[in-house]
């Protein structure tokens, strides 16, 4: 075997073992696993060892499939994490971010692309669609910690990342249509009717139906016949594939379908329990109790959902590892753009905050939460998928070079700056939130005592 390949195996092995050993330490430092993965990719790329020699344009078909798999697994995981009922007002924040803030981001990037980069409007819209969605794979450090987490900041970032990887698709199709690579119809009627209304609605419906039917079927078999126990990893992957494939067969958005499927499975669990949290017995169950929990009349829904979530989180981490290695390997002088010096700060420091504040205007979020939601717009695997999708659908080479250079740079910068800032900022946010919670809990008692004292003196 070639020495270079051997060395590549050693580098990958060292990264994996190293993360297993120091992962808990990294989580407490101003670092992120993503930063280490990108660095490993650079080491394995043409700039060093030369083991990974993937070109984002020549190998677009392969990269599209790899990113596609990583995104759908992560979206299903995001859906499983969100236990808050759909009637809860927190979902209004999610819809605002996924639709209003998404549209504003695409519009502002389009203006920057036309005016600052000299792109035709179709390519500029496409650039906006590629860079607008936040990433469910890389944003795990700012997402909900557990299914019952009701914090507006973490819930908003998790649900936004779950929804906007699907709501970005209409803008991708609009950009391709303006470039003559997709049928829009007269005055855009086909784009609005099919790519917006039909694809979004049917995608969500397919996922909700698949998740509900299959989830309830498995629970029924387990509770009634004590069968279909174990192999929750097969159940997870099967449900993802059925939801995604079914949505695509109906010409709708598979990304929204798998997210909705995850939500539907979680709805089954939350609907079967009167508690706002997952029963602690389920979370602590070991191998000995697993079969009993899986078929228990009351615990079966929670056990199935938590088992599927645990498996998907493992796959999520592996997917992030592989994709960021590839991103690091593709970073080269060939795709360095001088325009990135002004475009990347504009996107992260101006466009993202402006779109978030406009989208959340009048909402029940405080200034601190809005500032952090504005900052933690992590870009990553979703952007890679949309970019590869556009290239595979005929994006001209001259435009593809510009979009590749800016997208890879944005992802690399996002991984670094968000990775460095996530630990101190989230620690600060959580400490402030805890202090305010304690103050509110103690305030009525102290206030009543002072009121009684004033009454006594009077």
The string of pLDDT tens digits covering residues 283-308 is 554 444 555 666 666 677 777 777 78
Annotate 51-70 with b (16+ C-beta within 10 A) or e (fewer): bbebebbebbeebbebbbbb
pLDDT in tens, 364-416: 888 888 999 999 888 888 899 999 999 999 999 999 999 999 999 999 888 88
Give one DSSP letter per residue of 92-133, joined into a string. HHHHIIIIIIHHHHHHHHHHHHHHTS---HHHHHHHHHHHSS
CB 321 within 8 A of CB 37: yes
Higher per-residue pLDDT: 68 or 141: 68
Alpha carbon distance 404, 415 (integer Å): 16
pLDDT of residue 199: 95
Contact 167, 99 (CB under 8 A): yes
Measured distance CA(380)–CA(328) in Å, rounded:
12
Residue-level pLDDT at 450: 52
Judged by average pLDDT, the poorest of 6-10, 86-90, 286-290, 342-346 is: 286-290
| Predicted local confidence at residue 287, as pLDDT | 45
**Domains along the chain?**
59-326+336-452 (1.20.1530)
Q: To 10 degrees, the CA torsion angle through 280, 282, 283, 284?
A: 90
Give, in degrees to the nearest 5, the angle at Cα 420 between 357 and 51: 115
Task: Determine which of 174-178, 186-190, 309-313 has the lowest per-residue pLDDT on average.
Answer: 309-313
Q: Which carries the bigger pLDDT value, residue 446 or residue 120?
A: 120
Residue with tokens 């650039």: 127
- pLDDT of residue 155 exceeding 90, the answer is no
Contact at 8 Å (CB) between 179 and 123?
yes
Higher pLDDT, 173 or 15: 173
Highest mean pLDDT among 43-57, 217-231, 267-281, 338-352: 338-352
* Least-confidence region, from 68-72, 174-178, 331-335, 392-396: 331-335
Q: Give the residue-averaged pLDDT of 338-345.
A: 91
pLDDT digits (tens, 9 = 90+) for 415-458: 888 888 887 888 888 888 777 766 766 665 554 555 455 544 44
User: Which band of pLDDT confidence, cut at 50, 70 and 90, is reported for residue 141?
Assistant: low
The predicted model scores a pTM of 0.86
What sign does the CA torsion over 237, 243, 248, 252 have?
A: negative
CA 219 → CA 292, 294, 303, distances in Å? Answer: 13, 8, 10
Higher pLDDT, 288 or 261: 261
Cα distance between residue 319 and residue 299, in whole Å: 30
Lowest mean pLDDT among 31-40, 103-112, 213-222: 31-40
Note the residue count of the chain. Answer: 458
Structure tokens at 443: 């305030």
CA distance 333 to 326: 15
* Dihedral (CA of 269, 272, 276, 278) sign: negative
- Helical axes 33-44 vs 3-26, angle rounded to 10°: 170
Q: What does 202-259 look like in DSSP terms, one character per residue?
A: HHHHHHHHHHHHHHHHHHHHHHHHS-S-S-HHHHHHHHHHHHHHHHHHTTS-HHHHHH
For residue 80, the model assigns a pLDDT of 87
Residue 455: per-residue pLDDT: 45
Q: Tell me the pLDDT band of 196, cut-offs 50, 70 and 90.
A: very high
pLDDT at residue number 68 = 92
Measure Cα distances from 329 to 138, 284, 402, 454 in Å: 17, 40, 18, 70
How far is it between the farthest Cα atoms of the chain? 92
d(CA 29, CA 34) in angstroms, rounded, equals 13
pLDDT at 290: 59
Give the range with max mean pLDDT: 11-15, 35-39, 136-140, 343-347: 343-347
- With 80 as the cut, is the pLDDT of residue 268 above it? yes
- Which position has the higher pLDDT, 102 or 325? 102
| Closest to 176 (Cα-Cα) out of 385, 391, 408 | 391
Q: What is the mean pLDDT of the chain?
A: 83
DSSP state of 334: G
Which residues contact residue 237 at a Cβ distance below 8 angstroms, ignoring those fewer than 6 apart? none
CA distance 275 to 267: 13
Contact 113, 144 (CB under 8 A): no
Say if residues 424 and 30 touch (Cβ distance below 8 Å).
Answer: yes
């Amino acid at each position: 075997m070639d020495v270079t390949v051997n060395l590549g195996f050693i580098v990958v092995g060292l990264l994996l073992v190293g993360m297993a050993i120091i992962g808990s330490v990294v989580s407490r430092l101003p670092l992120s696993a993503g930063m280490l993965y990108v660095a490993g990719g650079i080491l394995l790329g043409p700039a060093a060892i030369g083991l990974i020699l993937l070109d984002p344009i020549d190998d677009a078909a392969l990269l599209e499939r790899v990113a596609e798999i990583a995104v759908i697994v992560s979206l299903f995981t995001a859906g499983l994490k969100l236990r808050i009922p759909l009637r809860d007002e927190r979902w209004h924040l999610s819809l605002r971010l996924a639709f209003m803030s998404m549209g504003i981001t695409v519009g502002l990037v389009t203006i920057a692309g036309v005016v600052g980069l000299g792109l035709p409007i179709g390519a500029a819209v496409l650039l906006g669609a590629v860079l607008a969605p936040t990433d469910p794979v890389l944003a795990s450090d700012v997402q909900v910690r557990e299914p019952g987490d009701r914090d507006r900041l973490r819930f908003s970032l998790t649900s936004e990342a779950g929804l906007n990887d699907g709501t970005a698709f209409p803008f991708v199709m609009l950009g391709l249509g303006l470039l003559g690579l997709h049928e829009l119809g007269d005055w855009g009627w086909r784009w609005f009717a099919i790519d917006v209304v039909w694809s979004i609605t049917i995608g969500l419906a397919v996922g909700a139906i698949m998740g509900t039917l299959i989830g309830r079927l498995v629970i029924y078999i387990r509770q009634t016949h004590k069968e279909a126990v174990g192999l929750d990893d097969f159940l997870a992957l099967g449900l993802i594939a059925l939801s995604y494939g079914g949505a695509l067969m109906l010409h709708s958005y598979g990304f929204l379908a798998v997210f909705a499927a995850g939500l539907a499975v979680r709805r089954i669990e939350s609907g079967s329990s009167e508690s706002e949290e997952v029963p602690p017995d389920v979370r602590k169950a070991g191998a000995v109790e697993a079969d009993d929990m899986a078929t228990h009349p009351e615990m079966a829904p929670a056990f199935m959902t938590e088992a599927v979530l645990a498996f998907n989180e493992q796959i999520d981490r592996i997917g992030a590892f592989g994709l960021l290695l590839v991103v690091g390997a593709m970073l080269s002088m060939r795709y360095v753009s001088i325009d990135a010096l002004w475009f990347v700060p504009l996107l992260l420091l101006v466009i993202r905050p402006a779109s978030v504040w406009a989208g959340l205007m009048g909402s029940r979020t405080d200034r601190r939460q809005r500032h952090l939601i504005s900052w933690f717009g992590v870009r990553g695997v979703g952007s890679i998928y949309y970019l590869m999708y556009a290239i595979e659908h005929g994006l001209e080479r001259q435009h593809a070079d510009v979009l590749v250079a800016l997208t890879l740079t944005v992802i690399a910068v996002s991984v670094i700056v968000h990775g460095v800032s996530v630990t101190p900022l989230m620690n600060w946010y959580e400490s402030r939130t805890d202090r305010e919670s304690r103050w509110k809990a103690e305030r009525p008692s102290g206030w009543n005592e002072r009121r009684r004292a004033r009454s006594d003196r009077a």
